[in-house]
Amino acid sequence: MSTESWKSARNAVVLIACLLAGWQALYWFAGEIAMRPPLATLRYTANLVTTDAFWPHLSETMRAFAIALAIAVAVGLLTGFWLGFHSLSRQVFEPMLVAIYSIPKITLYPVLLLAFGLGMPAKIAFGAIHGIIPVALFTINAVRNIKPILIKTGRVHRLGPLDMVRSILFPAALPEIFTGFRVGFSLTLIGTLLGEMFAAQRGLGYLLMTAIGLHNVDLIMAVTLLLIVFAAVVSTLLLAIDRRLHRRSV
């Protein structure tokens, strides 16, 4: 291992230790009624993941999230490329996107629920609407920031339209698009879980709400921990890839 990776590993360990210490301190402050300490939570979580009742919830959430993310990325990319290249459409629609982006999506939840019904489709829709706009906005910027000189170079090398997209436009826009994907990932996860918390019969969000209803603090802590670990691990990975992509941009 190089000095650099030693350093980042050490930093990660220190960070996790600090978080655990903070958690323990918060527990001493808030008490048994609201929280569990780290060790008890870990023990309960380890137990929880071995039960049969847990896995259907997890797979339900992951399925909803994966589909929502796929929709958010596909629609966001298409919208972004379209508005990025077509300036009239961009002038018309970009302000609208920005305006919609600032609406608290939760206010649309009743409408979505009535439109899609209780269950999977509503969760997916709610997750996807959180992710589409950031992916689209980042893609618009990515496309607009492609240096014209690179396109000119492509023309000098007599690339066809398809080749131009594949070997110049897409790689040139990729670092910025990936940043959009990273932001879209986090927001879609929030959307999917929110969708599950209010009107669902399965999923981690539902499990969390049930636990709150039954005042099952152990379960609340365990589900929260799992979600935090999942989000943190994936986000760290995405951030690492993002940095790597951006380091090459001149």
| 153 touching other proteins, by CB under 8 A | yes
- CA–CA dist 98, 104 (Å, integer): 12
Please provide residue 33's backbone torsions phi and psi, each rounded to the nearest 5 degrees.
Answer: -65, -30
Euclidean distance between CA atoms 192 and 68, whole angstroms: 8
In the list 10, 43, 152, 166, the residue contacting other proteins (rule: CB under 8 A) is: 152
Count of residues interacting with other proteins (CB under 8 A) = 20
Rule CB under 8 A: is residue 247 a binding residue for other proteins? yes
3-state SS assignment for residue 122: helix
Does 244 contact other proteins by CB under 8 A? no
Interface with other proteins includes 174 (CB under 8 A)?
yes
Scanning 40-48, 53-61, 110-118, 147-155 for contacts with other proteins by CB under 8 A, the matching segment is 147-155
Candidates 82, 171, 218, 234: give the one binding other proteins (CB under 8 A).
171
Is the CB of 121 or the CB of 171 nearer to other proteins?
171
DSSP string covering 164-176: HIIIIIHHHHHHH
- Binding to other proteins by residue 147, rule CB under 8 A? yes
Distances (CA, A) of 199 to 146, 191, 212, 221: 43, 13, 15, 21
**Closest residue by Cα to residue 196 from 57, 70, 102, 103:** 57
Nearer to other proteins, 114 or 156 (CB): 156
CB 132 within 8 A of CB 70: no
Q: Between 32 and 163, whose beta carbon lies closer to other proteins?
A: 163
Reading the block at residue 102, the tokens are: 């600032």
Tell me whether residue 153 or residue 201 sits nearer to other proteins (CB atom).
Answer: 153
CA distances 170 to 98, 150, 241, Å, are 24, 12, 16
Q: How many angstroms separate the CA atoms of 111 and 135, rounded?
A: 23
**CB of 150: closest distance to other proteins in angstroms?**
6
Which part of the chain contacts other proteins (CB under 8 A), choosing from 104-112, 166-174, 225-233, 235-243?
166-174
Task: Out of 1, 88, 156, 162, point to the residue binding other proteins (CB under 8 A).
Answer: 156
Residue 32 binds other proteins (CB under 8 A): no
**Interaction site with other proteins (CB under 8 A):** 147, 149-150, 152-153, 155-159, 163, 167-168, 171-172, 174, 247-250
